[in-house]
Structure 1
Amino acid sequence: MIDAHHHLWDLSAVHYPWLMAKGVERFFGDPSPIQRNYLLDEFRADAAAQGVSASVHIQVGAEDGLAEATWVQSVADATPDWPMAQVVFCDLTAPDLDAQLDTFQALSTVKGVRQIVGRAPGEDAVTGTNDLLNNPAFLDGLREAGRRGLSFDLQLIPELIEKTARVLEQAPDTKVALCHAGSPHDRSPQGLADWASKLRNLSALPQVTCKLSGLGMFQHNWTVDDFRPIIDTCLEQFGPDRCMFGSNFPVDSLYSDYATLVQAHRAIVPQEMHKAVFHDTAAAFYAL
């Protein structure tokens, strides 16, 4: 198995403003239980027990994206028996984008970039990240990432899917990993129906692959049956060859342990799709 979406952090090595902000509620809940070091040994113990033997580290709000990427590279270098790719933060609208990407690509683990388009309606109203979709430089940056063989990890909310799809249509050579199945935050029957309808705008684009990850962030006391319609929809629209499992740990550790999360996904994904969803799709997408 490959875990295609997780985070690590060492608070003494890299500065993460959100992990230092005490008493600040986030869109995914109260972060205080994870405002501590979360290192590879802890993650690996939980993941390996479920059959995971490689993983993809996703940037997670460090003050300095290069400092985070360099630290993750050092972790990977120190543990060659645990293959790990990474997706770094880079502002695709930056005037010195080429130089930044040159620096990132000097790190052997770097396979892609992430710049969050949308997290949740409330936070987005404050951060203004949705405005990336109106910035021509963002499209140029997406195209440049693709030219370099870098993928783009896309985090957004359903309200932004249609607009985002129109942007991605103009960067067809950039592979895109849709984080957290598009963050269906409204779990009412109507909310899920609306998300599934909008999702077709992305599943229709052959360069987009869907991550079955982060599904607990908007429904903390979840059951297998809560995840089932989301995962079933993703598998129906994208197919197993364009779906991959990610734990989103340690964020999703706020709602369940690792074993419970994996077992829920295994119970929903049909057995004949396990090889693709839990290994092959991520191995191909991130060249692991």
Structure 2
Amino acid sequence: MPEAILDPDLPIIDPHHHLWDLRPLIAAFPEPRHPFIQALELNAYYTFDQLRTDTTSGHNIVGTVYMECGAFYRAGAEPAFKSVGEVEFVNGVAAQGASGLYGDYRPCAAIVGHADLTLGDGVRPVLDALGLASERFCGIRHQGAWDADPEVLGPPFHAPAGLYGSDAFRAGFRHLGELGLTFDAWVLEPQLQDVIDLARAFPDQPIVLDHCGTPLGVASYKGKLHDRFDGWRTAIRTLAELPNVSVKLGGLAMAFCAMPEQGPAAGVPSETLAGMWRPYIETCIDAFGADRAMFESNFPVDRWGADYRTLWNAFKRLSAGASAAEKRALFAGTAARFYGIEDVLPGSA
């Protein structure tokens, strides 16, 4: 039986979700599937109807931010420009929401796209094309997740080691600031120094760390969450000293984190999830403050450990001691300001 919704009137901007059709891709992976692929199989087809079912399941989701995931790329475009198709597709979803047909709900009010920043100065026309594809385009994610153990990430990923420190990447990265674009950084816990170094090198560039820095509890890291916690916490506190960095509070229900370890769709209640995640969430909030932290669903990836209702209930349990102003920031205000969509918030007009 679904959990009762806690604090159902609290406005929420979900600042991190995907839309995709991964059915052909997943079919190509052999059995037994990596846990992450198992998680994707839960919602191998996740577009506006599925998103609307989740975001209207009881919590007061007033708007969302779309996060790039390699979906619906242009088949016939030059390689560098294929990602423009993703922004074009998502802009159509945003237009559906903006029509008012579904009430005041604003899905994909901001769109984070992808461009290959290792193109250096050659990335500029790609960024320009993404901006022309949608006025909602606001930033870039170029994921840098890598680990020496290939079993950690499984088949879909593996960015080059040290990507964020490479000269080619940074030559492209500097264009984000010139265009007023945000940057989402996704790395794994052992790579957090890469984000620290990048943020120090570009102190005026708004950066948000995805998924609490992705603590690891799988493959060669299995059973080591406790042992690695102090190192993770030190890195988070160092990042928080840099005023251009914010953090997304979520992603902990991913298979990589093993919180919960069992899946898919483990059915763990929100109270138990809140207990698992509390050391990570509270550390991030204490370090960054409510004005630089935002709860995220990371859906549908986090369905591995929680359905949408239960996920946000867990976040509400974790923030039960926060003030009304802090809750407004954590659940909507920080995301609205970071991604430039303050008009989505009730009472903003």
Establish whether TM, by shorter chain, passes 0.5: yes
Q: 1:74 aligns with which of 80, 92, 96?
A: 92
Match of 2:4 in 1: none
Aligned-residue offset at 1:36: 3.0
Rate the CA distance shift 1:119–1:282 in 2: closer, same or farther, 3 A: farther
Q: Does 1:219 align with 2:258?
A: yes
Task: Point out the more displaced range, 209-218 or 31-40.
Answer: 31-40
Structure 1 runs of 4+ off > 2 angstroms?
16-29, 31-36, 61-64, 119-131, 186-190, 220-223
| Cα displacement string for residues 53-102 of structure 1 (whole angstroms, at most 9, x for unaligned residues) | 10011011335421111100111122204432111111111152110000
Match of 2:228 in 1: 191
Structure 1 letter corresponding to 2:51:
F
Q: In 2, are the aligned partners of 1:147 and 1:173 still within 8 Å (CA)?
A: no
Distance 2:274 2:179 in 1: 39
Aligned-residue offset at 1:29: 5.3
| Cα displacement string for residues 19-69 of structure 1 (whole angstroms, at most 9, x for unaligned residues) | 453346346351353353212222223223211110011011335421111
Q: Once superposed, what is the RMSD of the aligned Cα atoms?
A: 2.2
- Equivalence map 1:24-173=2 (5 Å): 25-26=33-34, 28=36, 30-31=38-39, 33-34=41-42, 36-48=44-56, 49-62=58-71, 64-80=82-98, 81=100, 82-83=105-106, 84-95=109-120, 96-106=122-132, 107-118=134-145, 121-122=149-150, 127-173=158-204
Structure 2 letter corresponding to 1:46:
D
Q: Does 1:238 align with 2:270?
A: no
Structure 1 letter corresponding to 2:284:
C
Distance 2:26 2:140 in 1: 21
Distance 1:149 1:32 in 2: 32
Rate the CA distance shift 1:34–1:21 in 2: closer, same or farther, 3 A: farther
Q: In 1, are the aligned partners of 2:14 and 2:65 still within 8 Å (CA)?
A: yes
Structure 2 letter corresponding to 1:227:
W
Rate the CA distance shift 1:163–1:42 in 2: closer, same or farther, 3 A: closer
Structure 1 letter corresponding to 2:169:
F
SS in 1 for 2:201: coil
Structure index of larger Rg: 2
Rate the CA distance shift 1:150–1:188 in 2: closer, same or farther, 3 A: same
SS in 1 for 2:164: helix
Aligned-residue offset at 1:141: 2.0
Q: In 2, are the aligned partners of 1:7 and 1:59 still within 8 Å (CA)?
A: yes
The runs of 5 or more residues in structure 1 that have no matched partner are none
| Cα displacement string for residues 100-157 of structure 1 (whole angstroms, at most 9, x for unaligned residues) | 0000111111111001111555356973433313311212222210111100000011
SS in 2 for 1:61: coil
SS in 1 for 2:337: helix
Q: In 2, are the aligned partners of 1:161 and 1:201 still within 8 Å (CA)?
A: no
Q: Does 1:22 align with 2:29?
A: yes
The runs of 5 or more residues in structure 2 that have no matched partner are 1-11, 74-81, 218-223, 261-271, 342-349
Distance 1:190 1:32 in 2: 28
**Identity rate, percent:** 31
Match of 1:182 in 2: 213
Q: In 1, are the aligned partners of 2:111 and 2:137 still within 8 Å (CA)?
A: yes
SS in 2 for 1:52: strand
Distance 1:285 1:164 in 2: 18
Q: In 1, are the aligned partners of 2:145 and 2:158 still within 8 Å (CA)?
A: no
Q: In 1, are the aligned partners of 2:70 and 2:86 still within 8 Å (CA)?
A: no
SS in 2 for 1:153: strand
Rate the CA distance shift 1:29–1:17 in 2: closer, same or farther, 3 A: closer
